[in-house]
Amino acid sequence: MRLLLVRHGITQNNVDRTYTGQTDAPLTELGERQAEAVGKYLATEQLDIIISSDLQRARRTAQAIARYHDLPVLEDPNLREISMGKWEGFTPEQLQERNLDEWVHVRSDPINVPPPGGESFAQLYERASKVLRYYQEKYAGKIVLWCTHGAFIEVVLCYALKLDLKYRYCFRQENTSISELSFEGELPWIRRLNDTAHLRALNGNKLFAALCPEEA
């Protein structure tokens, strides 16, 4: 299976550096344009299956890609972003002001300690690895595109490459970036990583979000 991993277009929460998690935030006007740009960029790619997180920011991005292919957009809630629980809707600075002890506790071990009511990265790893194994078996030999979320993609890359989750920060994913893996042996072949060449066409615009929280 070849797997293309596309992050959704920009949202206002990304711009504001607000934790979004599984909140169903819409794309901004620029996010819609980013989605159209990645759709055009991938128009000549061969794709067999397009699967999206069921959150609208991912679904809208997937629809912009599917427009150039005779394919439906399938939705899978297992491709959702990490849940940030009660932290969703707040910036890191706001959370530290509200409850510094809670912030320090979670951030001291974010792999294993989730935000209140949310997921830890270990839990996200379990969800992501399970869904990847499922689709590898279901679509063996196919070219599959997932439209999903930044932290989710980082964790998938760690799992696929057999890396500790502490290395997830090495795989920064910009809005509508494309990463691609080809599963042909024990370890996948990385065909591309955080490809944003399509955004150069948006002349004069701020192409990427201000660096937002990694779980947003």
Q: Give the pTM.
A: 0.93
pLDDT tens digits for range 146-179? 999 999 999 999 999 999 999 999 998 999 999 9
Please report the pLDDT score of residue 210 as a whole number. Answer: 42
pLDDT grade for 184, boundaries at 50, 70 and 90: confident
Mean pLDDT over the full length of the chain: 93
Q: Is 81 part of the annotated catalytic residue set? A: yes
**pLDDT more than 90, % of the chain:** 89
Q: Is 8 part of the annotated catalytic residue set? A: yes
Q: Which of 36, 69, 81, 149 is catalytic?
A: 81
CA torsion angle 25 69 40 207 (round to 10)? 20
pLDDT tens digits for range 9-54? 999 999 999 999 999 999 999 999 999 999 999 999 999 999 999 9
All structural domains of the chain: 2-201 (3.40.50.1240)
